[in-house]
A and B are shown apart, each in its own frame.
Chain A
Amino acid sequence: MSAILELKHVSKFFGGLAANSDISFAMEPGMIKGLIGPNGAGKTTLFNCITGYYPPSRGEIFFKGHPITGLQPDRVCRLGMARTWQKVRPLVKMTVLDNVMVGALCRTNSLAKARNIAMEQLSVVGMEQKTHFIAGGLPIGERKKLEMARVLATKPELLLLDEVMGGLNPAESEEIIRLILEIKARGITQMVIEHDMKAIMRISDRIVVLNSGEKLAEGTPAEIVANQEVVDAYLGESHA
């Protein structure tokens, strides 16, 4: 099968600093790809390049075989690629339902249809009882789930999740892991940035390791854990 997302020699420079340098990899449809690396390795920058927030300084990005390099984020979203934010960005003064409806309106002009799609996605994340809560008043765990429901409502084929488990307690993280696997079962491809190594090793089919803006390694979780370079740069001895 052909790749759903392909990066060819993508680089992003901020002044003299190479936040991403010459990164290439491809993603197979239906898989979960983990993206790991120390703080400042360029994981979020890479997400921003893929989803159109930054134009890459060099290189090309293909989504479903079409070049998307330099496309605006709204176009990228309508093509079927959606992302969540490391620091969640709820539309704070709007209700939970309205938040998800904004996502759903990406695919329809009808508020009634958008409401149906939104209710569906809210029940997927288990928030159907909270539709009329104001988003700004939710605790962090529910904000993360709200954000998941909102991107799912845009009907993505590829989902980029930026630290969706950050700041959550073990029970909440477990819920998110279950959700990610459920999304995978629906055939949606996912790329996941995560610092929780146990979680990422469990859910990923393949893992890409970034370090100082460069791709350090790529492989199955077992290969990554056994890779001496990765152990030295990021994982540390105890994981080996």
Chain B
Amino acid sequence: MSIFGEIIGTIRRVSPLPLLTFLAVTGALLLFPPLVDSPYALHIMILIFLSVIMGESWNILGGYTGQYSVGHAAYFGAGAYTTMILMQFREVPPWYGMLAGIAVSILTALIIGSICFRLRGPYFVLASIAATEILRLTALNLKDFTNGAEGILATDIPPLQFGSFLVTDFTTKDPFYYIGLVFALAVIAVTWIVQHSKIGYCFQAIREDQDAAHSLGINPSLYKNLSLAISAAFTSLAGSFYAVYIGFIDPTTVLSLDMSVQIVLICIIGGIGTIFGPVVGALVLVPLSEALRSNIITQGLITAGLVNEDSPVGQFLKENLAHAHVLIYGILVVVVILFMPDGVLGFLRKILTGKRRKAA
């Protein structure tokens, strides 16, 4: 009750300008699908929403509580697999599968947390990787249950229907767009509430100094597990969403170390421990990765007339640059980390405050 009143009070104190900007952006996003009639643009937006959900969830544990889990694929995969297994083998609509996935993920999180949170710093990171590897190998070998390395292909997505009223069907991209948007806004809202409540103070105190927090009446294992449970629940949501949207999952994508690192990168690139850091991270990483994959650099060079399409150089770039997209992506990520240690958002803030200081 008191916490609830507190949150209402804090909402009242929020200055109107950021709130208006937020509402305007949300409004624009709601109007996006009818105005922009391009499945590819919608696809990119959906991937951005997915990355926002993943990044914000990790941010609650990594950014606010300071526990750098490099094993979030565990919860992503738990959500994806639970939804997919129920949908494909039991014909359960993905909405219920998603809720089941959240329950499975929280349970997984509490088991992993109760073991890994005994460790701190780099040892926790290693343990989180190991725990997720165990899950990946389990999914790979429990063939009767998960189809093993073959993965699961969604052949038919049962729509959610109440009586004769159709709530959602999944034949176009539009429902995915709106569901992704709502989920992304929800996880941003939850992050905001966490930051403006006692829980957020306890999380941040543990991040800054666990022993000091402990001496100030904060139970570290309680709050670390709470943080992980919130984080895992939303990561699982992202996993379920991914599974239904892409329509195919296997252990080497949804339960891989790559996936775990990808989740962490969204936050590192955007800015750790800030509400909008993961949003910025998603806005940078998703288009970047798509652009590199579709070989936009070579296209640009050719259209700009810098490289002749038929010359050996042009041929070489056309053939190989698309394959090197992971390499280029990696190099760009390293550059960002080197020159913007607080992420893109922190870098922008520094430039803005620097300019203000010069003006003053």
Which residues of A are interface residues toward B (Cβ below 8 A)?
Answer: 51, 53, 72-74, 77-78, 82-83, 85, 89-94, 98, 101-103, 105-106, 109-112, 114, 150-151, 154
Inter-subunit contact B214/A72 (CB<8 Å): yes
Say yes or no: A91-B208 contact (C-beta < 8 A), given A105-B201, A110-B2: yes
Inter-subunit contact B216/A72 (CB<8 Å): no
Cα-based distance from A106 to B198 in the complex (angstroms): 10
- A51 in complex: contacting residue of B3, B198, B208, B215, CB < 8 Å: B215
Say yes or no: A53-B211 contact (C-beta < 8 A), given A105-B201, A109-B198: yes
For A91, the chain B residues whose CB sits under 8 A away are 204-205, 208-209, 212-213
Best-surrounded residue of B10, B208, B214, B217 (most CB of chain A within 10 A) = B217
Say yes or no: A102-B211 contact (C-beta < 8 A), given A110-B6, A112-B9: no
Sampled A-B contacts (14; CB under 8 Å)? A53-B215, A89-B209, A89-B211, A90-B212, A91-B212, A91-B213, A93-B204, A102-B204, A105-B198, A109-B6, A110-B3, A111-B6, A112-B6, A151-B216
Say yes or no: A73-B2 contact (C-beta < 8 A), given A92-B208, A102-B201, A111-B10: no
Cα-based distance from A91 to B202 in the complex (angstroms): 11
Is B219 an interface position by the 8 A CB rule? yes
Inter-subunit contact A77/B216 (CB<8 Å): yes
Residue on A with the closest CB to B200? Answer: A111
Residue on B with the closest CB to A103? Answer: B216
For A105, the chain B residues whose CB sits under 8 A away are 198, 201-202, 217
Residue on B with the closest CB to A73? Answer: B214
Instruction: Label chain B's interface by main secondary structure.
Output: helix
Is B218 an interface position by the 8 A CB rule? yes
Cα-based distance from A80 to B214 in the complex (angstroms): 14
- A74 in complex: contacting residue of B198, B201, B218, CB < 8 Å: B218
19 more A-B contacts (CB under 8 A) besides A53-B211, A110-B2?
Answer: A53-B215, A73-B215, A74-B219, A74-B220, A83-B215, A85-B211, A85-B212, A89-B211, A89-B212, A90-B209, A101-B201, A105-B201, A105-B217, A106-B216, A110-B6, A111-B6, A112-B9, A114-B198, A154-B216
Inter-subunit contact B217/A74 (CB<8 Å): yes
For A73, the chain B residues whose CB sits under 8 A away are 211, 214-215
Say yes or no: A109-B216 contact (C-beta < 8 A), given A89-B209, A92-B208: no
For B208, the chain A residues whose CB sits under 8 A away are 90-94
As a 0/1 sequence over residues 183 to 227 of chain B, the CB contacts with chain A under 8 angstroms (1 = contact) are 000000000000011100110110111011111111110000000
For B9, the chain A residues whose CB sits under 8 A away are 112
Which residues of B are interface residues toward A (Cβ below 8 A)?
Answer: 2-3, 5-6, 9-10, 196-198, 201-202, 204-205, 207-209, 211-220
Cα-based distance from A93 to B273 in the complex (angstroms): 11
Inter-subunit contact B6/A77 (CB<8 Å): no
Cα-based distance from A89 to B214 in the complex (angstroms): 12
- A98 in complex: contacting residue of B201, B213, B218, CB < 8 Å: B201
Cα-based distance from A222 to B9 in the complex (angstroms): 56
Residue on A with the closest CB to B210? Answer: A89
Best-surrounded residue of B9, B218, B220 (most CB of chain A within 10 A) = B218
Cα-based distance from A114 to B217 in the complex (angstroms): 14
For A89, the chain B residues whose CB sits under 8 A away are 209, 211-212
Best-surrounded residue of B212, B214, B220 (most CB of chain A within 10 A) = B212
- A72 in complex: contacting residue of B209, B213, B219, CB < 8 Å: B219
Inter-subunit contact A111/B196 (CB<8 Å): yes
Inter-subunit contact B2/A109 (CB<8 Å): yes
Cα-based distance from A172 to B193 in the complex (angstroms): 40
Residue on B with the closest CB to A78? Answer: B217
Inter-subunit contact B198/A111 (CB<8 Å): yes
For B201, the chain A residues whose CB sits under 8 A away are 98, 101-102, 105, 111, 114
Say yes or no: A154-B214 contact (C-beta < 8 A), given A101-B201, A109-B6: no
Cα-based distance from A78 to B197 in the complex (angstroms): 19
Inter-subunit contact A102/B3 (CB<8 Å): no
Question: Closest CB-CB distance, A110 to chain B, in whole Å?
Answer: 5
Inter-subunit contact B215/A102 (CB<8 Å): no
For A94, the chain B residues whose CB sits under 8 A away are 204-205, 208
For A85, the chain B residues whose CB sits under 8 A away are 211-212, 215
Say yes or no: A77-B217 contact (C-beta < 8 A), given A91-B204, A110-B2, A111-B197: yes
For A72, the chain B residues whose CB sits under 8 A away are 214, 219
Question: Closest CB-CB distance, B14 to chain A, in whole Å?
Answer: 14
For A150, the chain B residues whose CB sits under 8 A away are 216
